[in-house]
Amino acid sequence: MGEQQRDQRGVRPEEAEAWETLVATARRTVADGLVVGTSGNVSVRVGETVLVTPSGVPYDRLSAEDVTGVDLDGRQVLGALVPTSELPMHLAIYRATDAGAVVHTHAVHATAVSTLVTELPLIHYMAAALGGPVRVAPYATYGTQELAENMLRALTDRTACLLQNHGTMACGATLDQAYDRTAQLEWMCRVWLTASSVPGLAPSLLSEGQVAEVGERLRGYGQRGPSGG
């Protein structure tokens, strides 16, 4: 049935809809200052296909005709544009987790922090929303399998990490969730850098136990129906 629904480009309706959301998310990373130019990339999984931003194309120029997709082995199955050079990182996450979307940025504060520490100090309890203390994946050349492997180790039991001298990587069930985690990570990095810059003072930090306690509370956070709080 799905094959019969494909258009002349071979794109299914759910893929076309996901591409529209992907492009909007990619443009949002620029508008919110998380990337400059064509740095960073975004992907979303639709079944066994991974839609991904193409390499070197400004996001404001992407249209519905530019759908770019690969299978989980990296073979191109949709479109003619070359997928992002960071594809190995995206595919590594989809193969190893049940993530539905991935956002990678070169956010300024997060990238700065990645050059200073091996783990983001626990400056705020929202680290719990990312699974705990945010690790920094050791540096490796972009687009390499080595970087993808370093990233996966840093993401163990986490939904976001920093890439040393590079940027951020965050995943989620949806593009909105992956983007929100990226924004939270950049904000926490900014808070730590700001607090650390006051001469003669050092920021107070939370314990892993305190962050874990917040993690438990967050599991029940949000609307819970007509009688929810």
Distance CA 216, CA 229 (A): 16
Nearest partner of 26 among 56, 50, 55, 58, judged by Cα: 58
In this structure, are residues 67 and 56 in contact, taking their beta carbons and an 8 Å threshold?
no
Q: What are phi and psi of 37, to 5 degrees?
A: 65, -125
| Per-residue tokens: 161 | 């990490």
Distance CA 127, CA 137 (A): 17
| Beta pairing partners, 78 | 69
Distance CA 31, CA 201 (A): 34
Catalytic residue among 14, 48, 86, 146: 86
Q: Where are the alpha helices (DSSP H) in the chain?
A: 13-31, 87-96, 108-114, 145-154, 175-196, 208-218
Q: How many CB atoms lie within 10 A of CB 200?
A: 4
Task: Look up 20 and say whether it is catalytic.
Answer: no
Catalytic site positions = 86
